[in-house]
Structure 1
Amino acid sequence: MAARRAATIASRQAASGCSRRCSAASPRHADGGTRLRILHVTPTYLPAVRYGGTIHAVHGLAKAQAALGHAVEVYTTNVDGPGVTPTPLGARVDLDGVGVTYFATGLGRRIYRSPAMGVALRRHAADFDILHLHSVYLWPPLAAARIARRHGAPYVLSPHGMLVASLVRAKSALIKSAWIALFERRTIREAAALHLASWREADDLRAFRFDLPPLAVIGHGVDAADLRAEQNITGDVAAAIAGGPFVLAFGRIDWKKNLAALIEAVALTPDLRCVIAGNDEHGRAAELARLCARLGVSARVTIIARQIGEPDRSALYRACACLALVSLNENFGNVALEAMSHGRPVVVSHTAGVAEAVAAERAGVVVTPEAGSIARGLAIIASDVRAAAEMGGRGRAAVERRWNWTAVAAEMVAHYEDVLQQSSMRGVP
């Protein structure tokens, strides 16, 4: 893995300093380093946690970059499912050292179209050294890419696992294919670089045969786990924990998460309990409940279909025997790192980007996303408590060493500096 990372992408330039654009315009740290002005553009943001790992990944990165001394801002919408977040509009709000500006959407809410954000981007895009755009198929990163290009501001694009050919074919194929042809190919081609969270995501992207800019494979991070006993957890979570040891599946209840196969694996594994916890936007929890009844495992599978915040989130990680992340495809899989940070082993499908880290660190079991393989992986964890604890310990140590947000943010900033240097050498972003 280290060798592959060394081959990354926009290879690091040994030359000193940042780009002309960066060094000429940005203030400097007391230690002589450059203080970058970074703008993240993302369709949704905290407190809209219903959207899963991407929300936490973007904020974790932005917060850590700000803690390193960079000037970090976020442009986003106030969309939160069918409603909106209780945040002021058009005014900069400080969130963990990050300046966040929320904008209302207009006509085209489904793609998060925000005329007010467009105005702000046109006014201020040139004020930043670099823009980091998150997501595809949606208006905010598209608008930001076009405006950045016009203003001569380089941008990095993070697709967050949305550019996977098999997933495009499986859901909204015609709409997504048309969007790619009309807009996304250009957005990708004109990016200064693409940020991908894993080599798995890079391989998925190459299948499209796009004209690609330099790629940078940099994983996500997690905050240090609070291992103190949790207080004031909600009744449904407390009841699930009280039932005894369990396998945890945490995250959005979505078809991509392959939860039906996990339930089938539970049916193949006597005495195993499972807790499925996460937001259910499309009514799939009812389908899973019917599957449990049909397989006769309703008493062994608990489904908590709602947003899971703190302290419930940490309580579930602390109490579980292991985490199961058996998705059909994940560009990374933040929940696996979160479980590892709590010292829990993980059973992860090889179709998740984080499987590379799990295998390298011997922090769990890598399986295929079929019920039989998942069942065998869960049985390995359940059959040897000591070995499972050792996996958990190795996972926690790996997170503390490599997958903390400070390390990830520093790596991303170094990549930005490479991008700026290359843009400077070309004379255009």
Structure 2
Amino acid sequence: MRPRLLLLTPWFVPGVAGGGITVSVRRMVELLEADYDIGVLTRWHAATQAAVAPDRWMPFGKNSRAAWLSPAEVWRVPRWLAAFRPDIVHVHGLYDLHFNVLPLVRRAPSPVALRVLSPHGMLDPGALAVRPLKKRLFLFAFRQTGLWRGLRFHASHAQEAAHVRRHFPKGETGIAPQIPEQPPATWTPVAAPAACGRLRLLFLGSVHPKKNLLWLLRLLQHGSVPVHLTIAGPVSEGRYASRCRAAARALSPTVRVDWRGEVPHDAVPALLADHHLLALPTLGENFGHAIFEALAHGRPVLVSTATPWRDLCARQAGFDLPLDAPQQWLEALARLWALDASAWAHWQAGAHRLATEWYGRQRFAEAYRRLFEG
């Protein structure tokens, strides 16, 4: 009999909120359902209303099931957990009251062999720098109440494991990589930036202080390269978005800004195909699904050093640069703008090769078996 694995997540398909967490959980189901009897408990909201009925188990994937809980029903997550009778509970996220906190406060009376918590980068210093007081108080309460006891923390890589141990030095930690989409065998090339008349940048992520869009807009005020910037992602912070729009209006005519809003995940490849470069000056990513997807579709990336994607220039896949050196960012844009067709083709190939080689080295199923059973 397959072990029963219950995934608890505030974000899941068919919605696009939650970004990389949504992708990771869906890919976990796809890759692990042959070995586990999987259930997913998640939130029913506006983006899912037309696609799924709330408060009932529905088939998902080949052998799994999922339940999207209505606003009234989310308070009963512990009951749903107990009724599923899981061997393993995998909690995705840290701060959500219904899907992260309640299942740990009101632990089901039925025996659960293992509880795993994936912070998904929420303990990264860059993430904690946004609204720090509120998060420090939460983590203090989490430690003092002992909610961490009996948990196995899931880190995506060694650096995230170090972040976990900084806050929970006595906690148990296991490592298993995030599971992105498999890179396509081919990608759609785009002409060199100068041949297109503008360097087409894509900011793909939520409009939130952690993603640092305002910093990017202010950087472009000082650039000399003609740029078309597309901003694709949901607005998570209204006041922050207003500041970003004001900064965009203040840009010179050499920089055009296009606000696309939230983009369905299946529309991302076409969006990438129309751009040269992903630009993401994030304060911190534990993986960076948008970064990986850009690389996988042959698009170099310009990112901060607060991601796992490093030494990009040596691979001709982009640039990873410190946020306290804005001149280096402007020089990187100028360097890409100056590439001829042949050199630009090498950079596109370098991006795709990096994603393909990384994916090929992973043994996802083995890593998650060790996380859940080791």
Q: Which TM-score band applies after superposition, normalised by the shorter structure?
A: 0.7 to 0.9
**Which runs of 5 or more structure 1 residues have no equivalent in the other structure?**
1-25, 28-35, 107-112, 230-241, 422-429
| Alignment pair present for 1:136 and 2:103 | no
2:48 is the counterpart of 1:92: no
Q: How many correspondences in the alignment? A: 359
Letter in 2 for 1:289: R
1:212 maps to 2:161? no
Which moves more between the two structures, 42-51 or 372-381?
A: 372-381
Paired letter, 2:345: A
**CA pair 201-305 structure 1, distance change in 2 beyond 3 A:** farther
* TM-score, length of structure 1 as denominator length: 0.74
C-alpha displacement at 1:131, in angstroms?
Answer: 1.9
Shift of 1:165: 4.5
Query: In the alignment, what sits opposite 2:11?
Result: 44
Task: Indicate the SS of the match to 2:286.
Answer: coil
Tell me the secondary structure at the aligned position of residue 76 of structure 1: strand
Counterpart in the other structure of 1:349: 304
Aligned ranges 1:305-316 → 2 under 5 Å:
305-309=260-264, 312-316=267-271
Task: Work out the percentage of aligned pairs sharing the same amino acid.
Answer: 21
Q: Quick check: 1:373 aligned with 2:328?
A: yes
Identify, as 1 or 2, the structure richer in helix: 1
Bigger RCO (CA 8 Å, 6+ sep): 1
Looking at structure 2, the residues matched to 202 and 415 of structure 1 have their Cα atoms a distance apart, in angstroms, of 15
> What letter corresponds to residue 304 of structure 2 in structure 1?
S
- 1:286 aligns to what? 242
Distance 1:150 1:71, change over 3 A: closer
User: Alignment RMSD, CA only?
Assistant: 3.1
Q: How far is 1:395 from its partner?
A: 3.0
Q: Which amino acid aligns with 1:158?
A: S
Q: How much does 1:155 deviate?
A: 1.8
TM-score where L is the length of structure 2: 0.83
Matches within 5 A, 1:27-426: 27=2, 36-66=3-33, 68-80=34-46, 86-97=51-62, 98-106=64-72, 114-125=74-85, 128-139=86-97, 140-146=99-105, 147=107, 151-165=111-125, 167-171=127-131, 173-174=133-134, 176-183=135-142, 186-191=146-151, 193-208=152-167, 210-225=169-184, 245-270=199-224, 271-283=226-238, 284-297=240-253, 300-309=255-264, 312-353=267-308, 355-356=309-310, 358=312, 362-370=316-324, 371-385=326-340, 386-403=342-359, 407=362, 409-416=364-371, 419-421=372-374
Q: Secondary structure at the match of 1:75?
A: strand
Distance 1:45 1:274 in 2: 28
Change (3 A) 1:338 1:142: same
Following superposition, the deviation at residue 243 of structure 1 comes to 7.7
Within 1, Cα distance between the matches of 2:311 and 2:154?
A: 18
DSSP-derived class of the 1:195 partner: strand
Rounded to whole Å, the distance in 2 between the matches of 1:374 and 1:206 is 33
The separation in 1 between residues aligned to 2:337 and 2:160, in whole angstroms, is 30
Question: CA shift at 1:157, angstroms?
Answer: 1.2
Instruction: Compare 324-333 and 204-213 and name the one that shifted more.
Output: 204-213
